[in-house]
């Protein structure tokens, strides 16, 4: 019976630890959510579980590193401690290798005063509701509040055209009924090279998150296709930011384009009808007109 009591007590302590860990992670998530949304940063479905796993392992790593350092400066052999630290680091890297971009999601940016209400809701639960309810009820309320805020933020998704700067010129994000969220390169703005990945990470992704609550767009339409521009589009497809490439119907049957497609079998290339291209141009022109009227 004593063994059973010890097991039950240990199980109860583990449950309490997990409950408090999830509670703290939810509070930190809601506190940081306004900043992440304002900056256009993606969120992760595995963030809470990852942080719960990460906390004890980073503690073990720091303790092991400290013991190893003290052993070295004291003249003792710290090989065994260094081996333990290295094993912990390798195990953690092995865990991180199972991460995927599919775990990421984004929420759109609402007016600033709505973001200000998110930490206020946490303060209300922690300081006014927590003293009068059980811990499990508080945890359930935090989960419901987090889900409610994510649902409400996604209701502010943009339905119009959004420009994305690259240098002095712009590409355009256009919500399309057939092709989904489409990135339109009309004026040969897209450039390849090492700067393209940085542009996609720090310019394109924040606009996708803030305006459309998305981490990627379905298509990239290149109005004047060339080998250089298609290579740049292939880089975006390989990074997962763009799903497929679109080219005008007149260029789709070109011999050089068919050869390029044969060399890049993993890149899906489709053609866009002339009428659909005119529709995109009309939407962009309407957006520019609206901007000039506001200015």
The larger pLDDT score, comparing residue 217 to residue 67, is at 217
For the CA atoms of 70, 95, 34, 147, the dihedral, rounded to the nearest 10 degrees, stands at: -130
Pairing of strands 43-44, 104-105: antiparallel
Q: What is the pLDDT of residue 162?
A: 82
pLDDT, tens only, 137-188? 888 888 898 889 888 888 877 677 888 887 777 888 888 777 788 888 876 7
**Residue given tokens 């503690």 in the structure block:** 59
Closest CA to 105 of 140, 142, 154: 154
**Cβ of 149: how many Cβ atoms within 10 Å?**
23
For residue 117, what are its two tokens? Answer: 């209400």
Q: Are 193 and 235 in contact (CB under 8 A)?
A: no
Mean pLDDT of the 16-22 span: 80
- Ramachandran angles phi, psi of 284, nearest 5°: -65, -40
pLDDT band of residue 288 (cuts 50, 70, 90) is low
| Confidence at residue 293, expressed as pLDDT on a 0 to 100 scale | 37
Asked if 136 and 19 touch (Cβ cutoff 8 Å), the reply is: yes
Q: Tell me, letter by letter, the H, E, C secondary structure of 107-163.
A: CCCCCHHHHHHHHHHHHHHHHHHHHHCCHHHHHHHHHHHHHHHHHHHHHHCCCCCEE
pLDDT at 54 over 80: no
pLDDT at 71 over 70: yes
- Residue 193: pLDDT band with limits 50, 70, 90: low
pLDDT at 194: 65
Contact 23, 139 (CB under 8 A): yes
Interaxial angle between packed helices 2-39 and 205-212, expressed in degrees from 0 to 180 and rounded to the nearest 10: 100
CA distance 201 to 188: 20
On the question of pLDDT at 20 being above 70, the answer is yes
Mean pLDDT on 190-218: 83
- Report pLDDT for 192: 65
pLDDT score of 277 more than 80: no
Between 264 and 84, name the one with better pLDDT: 264
**SS3 of residue 176 by DSSP:** strand
Quick one: 209 exposed, middle or buried, by C-beta within 10 A (0-12, 13-18, 19+)? buried
Count of other CB atoms within 10 angstroms of residue 266: 7
Distance of CA 33 to the CA centre of its chain: 13
pLDDT classification of 64: cutoffs 50, 70, 90: confident
Helices (H), the chain: 2-39, 47-73, 79-96, 112-124, 135-153, 194-199, 205-212, 227-239, 249-252, 255-263, 274-294
């Amino acid at each position: 019976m004593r063994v059973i009591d010890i097991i039950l007590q240990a199980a109860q302590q583990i449950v309490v630890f997990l409950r408090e860990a999830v509670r703290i992670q939810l509070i930190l998530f809601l506190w940081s959510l306004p900043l992440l949304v304002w900056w256009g940063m993606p969120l992760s479905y595995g963030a809470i579980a990852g942080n719960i796993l990460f906390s004890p392992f980073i503690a073990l790593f720091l303790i092991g590193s400290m013991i190893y350092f003290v052993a070295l400066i004291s003249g003792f052999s710290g090989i065994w401690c260094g081996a333990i630290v290295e094993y912990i680091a390798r195990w953690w890297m092995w865990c991180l290798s199972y991460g995927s971009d599919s775990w990421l999601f984004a929420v759109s940016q609402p007016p600033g005063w709505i973001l200000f209400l998110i930490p206020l809701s946490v303060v209300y639960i922690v300081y006014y509701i927590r003293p009068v309810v059980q811990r499990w009820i508080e945890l359930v309320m935090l989960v419901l509040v987090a889900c409610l805020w994510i649902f409400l933020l996604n209701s502010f998704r943009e339905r119009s055209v959004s420009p994305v700067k690259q240098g002095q010129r712009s590409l355009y994000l256009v919500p399309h009924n057939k092709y989904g969220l489409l990135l339109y390169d009309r004026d040969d703005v897209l450039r390849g090279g090492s700067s393209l990945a940085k542009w996609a990470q720090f310019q394109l992704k924040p606009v996708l998150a803030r305006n459309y609550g998305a981490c990627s767009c379905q298509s990239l339409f290149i109005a004047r296709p060339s080998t250089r521009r298609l290579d740049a589009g292939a880089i975006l497809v390989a990074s997962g930011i763009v799903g497929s490439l679109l080219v005008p119907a007149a260029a789709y049957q070109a011999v050089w384009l068919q050869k390029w497609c044969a060399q890049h079998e993993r890149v899906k290339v489709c053609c866009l009808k002339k009428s659909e291209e005119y529709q995109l141009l009309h939407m962009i022109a309407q957006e520019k007109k609206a901007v000039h009227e506001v200015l």
